[in-house]
Amino acid sequence: MTEKEVSYEFNTNLSSIESLIMGSYYNVINYEQVKKWLKDHIAYNKQLRRTSNLLYSENGIYTNVVDYMVSLPTLDRVVYSLNRNHSRFKKNKDIYLLALRKMKDKLIARDILHKLAINGTSFYYFETTETEQYPKYMNDTEIDGISEINTEFNCSAIPLPIDYCRIVGRKNSSYVVAFDMSYFDQFRSNGLSLKLKRFPREIRDHYRAYKKDLNKKWAILDNNKTICNKIKAGIEEKWGRPIGLSAFIDMMYDEYFVDTKRNILDEINSTIVYQTFPEGESKGTSSLTQKQQKQQHDNIRNALFSRGSRKGLNFFSVAAGTKLDKIQTNVDFLKVKGEDELIKRIATNLGFASSALNGQDGNHSSQQTNLEMISAEIFSWLEQIQEEFNKVINANLIKDPKVYVEIYYLPITHVNRKTMVANMKDLYTQGKGSLSAWIASTGWNPDAYLALMDYEIEEGFDEKYIPHATSFTMSGKTPGRPEDDTSENENTIKSKTYGSNNNPNKI
């Protein structure tokens, strides 16, 4: 074999350093970036919100915690006024209730809770003006936009794109919102007209002004029409914090940890076989010619590839001195136990006891205490939400400051319902408790329950279906079971004669 026939082959496939360090899931967002962002959540709020949304989609613990917090409160509510004796109270209350039904307040409230949990901040616009009907036909661009159309009684809360909104101040402790008009520039090539129609008139007017003067990029929206909330931040801060902020690092490490184990399993299931050609007279050369090397390489490769695809006997010959071997995968890392500890750390950083999520370990008392603390945090968010609802509905629909109507979400959750039922029952039976609150604590909508009671009264259920005579249903001078005057039992006769059953006893 001549020097020209000597063949050397080198194959490699190295992933990016970022992938090797953080795994393929974090090719875009890596550990060092997140550590930098966490040091200044205001400056890097957009990046942190993006990370939060990514982790919500990928990390099961984060997904469950957010979803549980959103669904935990029952959102049973009461509408009232401090000036409820005023003649206009009933009218104003009816308007408020109608507005809540039209805007589907429970749906909006849960959507706000969801956005607050993931983004830390939420922006909505309360729209009450007339909007146009949906067209009969739409193109692909138009169909992608989700919007709301009302005709009879226009009342809806329109979510605003968070990346184009800013908190710029406060008015009566309510956050003043500015909207970036450049948001609509991305739709200039297609769908701008329809997109603008789906937004309130105030924003459309601001966009027209922006097109004439690009310096009017940020428009201050009417505070009486915006619903803005934020959590885990001071009142003076521009942005809130996602609930998972302190757990981001552990969630990323957990994904990296699990991905590493999966990659090892993939390597075990993907065998790499290599051959060493017989050595020639000179060091580093083969005794086979280049043609012989290629032929032997193809024979072995074809035999290996066909081994799992067909049955039967595969045969090939190799030159003397040829060695076949496979690359072994180190599986020691599979023995490392760290998932449970990571799950506990992530859950704790999110404010949830891990036992409350998986039902393992812990005890009922500690889980109950944990859920009570979480409920307290959720209801602090609901306090903001109900204040914003009160502001926009009174300012835009009721317009009667003397009879200011308010909404109050009852502190009832799907966890404390049994306790609340007992509390409401005691208040009702032993004092001057509310029937509506008692009904709401059981899970019934009070309006639906009372409507059912009215229907039964109208249909005469009490007269048609007389309850059985028991100590619970009888009243007057004959409580308990009916008296039996025909009894000949000796003890019964003595009791009646001497009044033994009376209180106090005559004997």
Residue pLDDT, tens place only, 215-231:
999 999 999 999 999 99
How do the domains of the chain map onto residue ranges?
3-15+274-335
**What is the structure's pLDDT at 9?**
43
How far from chain centre, in Å, is Cα 355? 19
Share of the chain above pLDDT 70, in %: 68
- Report which of residues 204 and 359 the model is more confident about: 204
The closest alpha carbon to 102, from 440, 444, 384, 397, belongs to: 397
Angle 12-13-15 from CA coordinates, rounded to 5°: 145
Helix (H, G, I), strand (E, B), or coil: what is residue 182?
helix
Q: At what angle do helices 31-38 and 248-269 cross, to 10 degrees?
A: 170
In DSSP notation, 447-500 reads: HHHHHHHHHHHHTTHHHHSPPP--TTT--TT--SSPP-TT---HHHHHHHHHTT
d(CA 185, CA 200): 17
Distance CA 218, CA 166 (A): 9
Give the residue from 224, 241, 143 showing the smallest Cα distance to 397. 224
* Residue-level pLDDT at 25: 40
**pLDDT of 273-284, one tens digit each?**
666 777 777 776
Cα radius of gyration (the chain): 36
With contact defined as beta carbons under 8 Å apart, do 48 and 38 qualify?
yes
442 vs 209, more confident:
209
- Across-strand partners of 273? 326
* Torsion of the alpha carbons at 340, 341, 344 and 350, rounded to the nearest 10: -120
Q: Which two tokens stand for residue 463?
A: 């007269």
pLDDT higher for 71 or 140? 71
Torsion of CA 183, 189, 195, 196, to 10 degrees: 70
Residue 264 has pLDDT above 90, yes or no: no
More confident residue, 298 or 333: 298
Q: Report DSSP state, residue 413.
A: B
Taking residues 292-319, report their average pLDDT: 66
> Does residue 479 carry a pLDDT above 60?
no
User: Residue 490: is its pLDDT beyond 60?
Assistant: yes
Question: What does the pLDDT read at residue 11?
Answer: 41
User: In which band, very low, low, confident or very high, does the pLDDT at 482 lie, cut at 50, 70 and 90?
Assistant: low
pLDDT, tens only, 95-131 = 999 999 999 999 999 999 999 999 999 999 999 865 4
Tens of pLDDT, residues 432-450: 788 888 888 888 888 888 8
Closest CA to 105 of 452, 404, 388, 374: 388
Please say whether the beta carbons of 197 and 149 come within 8 A.
Answer: no
| The Cα angle at residue 427 between residues 425 and 431, in degrees rounded to 5 | 130
Contact present, 276 and 323 (Cβ < 8 Å)? yes
pLDDT of the residue at 362:
63
Q: Check whether 41 has a pLDDT greater than 50.
A: yes
Say which range, 68-72, 78-82, 260-264, has the weakest mean pLDDT.
260-264
351-356: average pLDDT? 73
Checking if the pLDDT of 378 tops 50, the result is yes
Please say whether the dihedral angle defined by the alpha carbons of residues 480, 481, 485 and 491, taken in this order, is positive or negative: negative
